[in-house]
Structure 1
Amino acid sequence: MSFKVSKIQHFPQAVLQGLPTDDSDVDLAKGSLLPTLGGVLADTRYVWHAKGPCLEIRDARSGVKVGAWTFGSILKDFNTRVVCVDEIQRPNGRLSLLAVAIECGISGSMVCVFEVLGSKVIRAVQIQEKASYR
């Protein structure tokens, strides 16, 4: 596999200020720090970051939040955390969907399809196996 750098994107301070710090949240169930996950969508116009159950998507140029969701909040499952996020590209230049794998204390693991502009989960599938990136 090879990669080619096609564009370098400098993030404005507003984008970086929205990122959570690694020492701000502790996983109470495990007594450890929650990792911050993040990435850039394929069109480089949007960035996402997740920490614990929270997922945010921001405009890479302005830092404006364009979508967000806290997984597990509806069921009051405080042991929910985002494990990985992957982009589902859509045709005709529409903003991508995100496939979000989460671990839940109540229901095991789930894979959710998240619509960024509507800030909503449009599909959720419960899985028996533990969600992981590998």
Structure 2
Amino acid sequence: MGSNGVDFLVTEQGPVVLEVNSRFQGSLDTVEKAMGINLFEAHAGCFRGELPEKPEAKLFAARGVIYSDRELFIDRKLMEVILREKSADIPPQETVIEPDWPLTSLFAFASTREEVIKSLEEGAERIKTFIADHMTGETGSLSSAREA
């Protein structure tokens, strides 16, 4: 009863379930935006015997996570680039991000699935291009002294 989530991968053979979670998921915000409902209120209502009507999707919403391909120092300039996007889970300035660690989450909202995927890809590309063009040195910093 209440909010549950299923983590899965889509493979060439079809979806493969990784785990089932009987708790709120990290994608809660995208579901709420797409469906136009407050999932916490719906979840709490279930325990009072109040089941919500099946909502209709109002738009497409997606969340993507950018993982770092190198060690990065989060300086002021990189922080500004990340904040220009619809982002969350942003590391504090002056943080060091290790290779393969999550850098940030991006959100996209659009009227079609294709548009929402394109928006996520474009946002990720802007951040990755900035990193490739401006981050230098072994720690991926704009300056070896790590000045922000």
The TM-score, its normalising length taken from structure 2, stands at: 0.26
Q: Which gives a bigger RCO, structure 1 or 2 (Cα 8 Å, sep 6+)?
A: 2
Q: Which has the higher helix share?
A: 2
**Structure of larger gyration radius:** 2
Tell me the TM-score normalised to structure 1 length.
0.28
